[in-house]
Amino acid sequence: MDKFIITGGKKLEGRVRVSGAKNASLALMPATLLASGVSKLNFTPALNDVYTMIKLLNQLGVETNFNDDFLLTLDTKNITSQTAPYEHVKKMRASVYVLGPLLAKYGFAKVSLPGGCAWGPRPINLHIEGLKKLGAEIELEQGYIIAKSDRLHGAKINFDKPSVGATGNILMAACLAKGTTVINNAAMEPEITNLVQLLINMGAKINGINTSILEIEGVDTLQPAEVNTIPDRIEAGTLLVAAAITKGKITIEGGIDSHLYSVLSKLEDTNAKIFISENEITIDATDIDIQSVDVTTGVFPGYPTDMQAQWIAYMSAAKGVSTVTDTVYLDRFSHVSELTRLGAEITVQDNSAIIKGVPKLKGAKVMSTDLRASASLVLAGLAAEGTTEVLRVYHLDRGYEKLENKLKQLGAEIERVSTSEF
């Protein structure tokens, strides 16, 4: 087990390249199951959730090759199983993305139910109801979803609320259904748009890209294809907040500003300056007085829930009082009690955190509880006086590609150390 040891107080400075988006890759990889043959995914990030998806796909019979240039090739010619076992799904909820493609292509899929997660129940009812509308027979047996259909058919699907995962699953399944499917109130996250791009490259007929109404005209077969994975907006956002909380100045190479508009605009409200040029985002927070700024999370293009924990860490070092409300995941506040160990003054009421900025956070030993919670602890540690130890960084490694190396490149004092502490 690894931990980070951070000596806080160094201003981040310099340039850093953002990796491919984890949440895009986790949808793009299973989408390749819809065709038979070799598909290519460029800029796939080398992080643990991607390795977990590779293992799951390998178990289904997909042959993979992940090279040093972040090109992931997937050969789906010899699929031997349509079952995603509990061992994989419990590690990573996104494993449920194999459900739609396996069902649509092979007429059968058996996928473990994901269960809850560190921040409360995360249902998949929208995935199941949507697939049923496409004509799937679905039963739940011994913790598994068993889905069958000779040939899915098009349908009109309306989501009561937009869900990234359900949009992705139904979209993939509908590409091989007979007839036209309309998904109303579809998620518009850039990762869904990236998935649509791959599906179109595979021969799918999809209208409404980048909108909340997707219209899919089913085809009989899809071909293997290639796509570029978009840059990770959450990694980029995390690095920008790291610069802001340390009052430094950095340039992110490869970030797409339109994917990050809500975060960039909130950063500007705190007094940081943002400069956009082609494929680069610069933040200059040199010696700013960090102004408290309220944030409410929402679906894209709203402020991302995956940047909520990082914002709470940032506001802990701001002047004044701010409120951070999560409307997507109402219980996602496990980082708060750990941040208070670093001297932060935060109270949680319902789905809001009220943060009273303190003049100085103080280093301490803290424990990661989930992926973005870990990122918030690292950010707070970078700003804190003295040494912060962040335990259980395996949570962080699920979704960031060697974050400590990127931070070191920007001048942070951060070391990964192997430990028996848990």
Q: Which of residues 116-145 bind ligand UD1 (CB under 6 A)?
A: 122-127
Which residue, 8 or 101, has its beta carbon nearer to ligand UD1?
Answer: 101
Given the residues 38, 113, 117, 354, the one annotated as active site: 117
Q: Select 235 or 389, whichever has its Cβ closest to ligand UD1.
A: 235
Query: How many of the other CB atoms lie within 10 Å of CB of 81?
Result: 12
CB 315 to ligand UD1: min, Å: 20
Among 19, 23, 197, 388, binds ligand UD1 (CB under 6 A): 23
Give the residue, chosen from 54, 136, 164, 225, that forms a contact with ligand UD1 under the rule CB under 6 A.
Answer: 164
Q: Is 229 in the site for ligand UD1 (CB under 6 A)?
A: no
The helix (run of H) or strand (run of E) holding residue 27 is helix 22-31
Among 102, 134, 196, 328, binds ligand UD1 (CB under 6 A): 328
Q: How many residues does the chain have?
A: 422
Instruction: With residue 90 as reference, give the H or E element that holds it.
Output: none
The runs of H, that is alpha helices, within 202-269 are 233-245, 261-269
Residue facing ligand UD1 at closest CB distance? 165
What is residue 96's DSSP assignment? G
Q: Where does this chain touch ligand UD1 (CB under 6 A) — which range of 66-74, 158-166, 197-205, 220-228?
A: 158-166
How far is C-alpha 69 from the chain's CA centre? Answer: 21
Going by the DSSP 8-state scheme, the letter that residue 84 receives in this structure is E
What is the per-residue binding string for ligand UD1 in 91-120, x denoting contact by CB under 6 A? --xx--------------------------
In the chain, count of helices (H) and strands (E)?
14, 24
Strand pairing of 72-75 and 38-42? Answer: antiparallel
* 406 binding ligand UD1? (CB under 6 A): no
What is the sign of the dihedral through the CA atoms of 59, 61, 67 and 69? negative
Min dist CB 202 to ligand UD1, Å, is 20
Tokens of 299: 């679906």
CA 246 to chain centre: 24
Nearer to ligand UD1, 313 or 328 (CB): 328
3-state helix, strand, coil in the chain (%, to 5): 35, 30, 35
Binding mask 34-73 for ligand UD1 (x = CB under 6 A): ----------------------------------------
Confirm whether 175 is a catalytic residue: no
Structure token pair of residue 76: 């789906």
Q: Which spans of this chain sit near ligand UD1 (rule: CB under 6 A)?
A: 23, 26, 93-94, 122-127, 161, 163-166, 187, 191, 305-306, 328-329
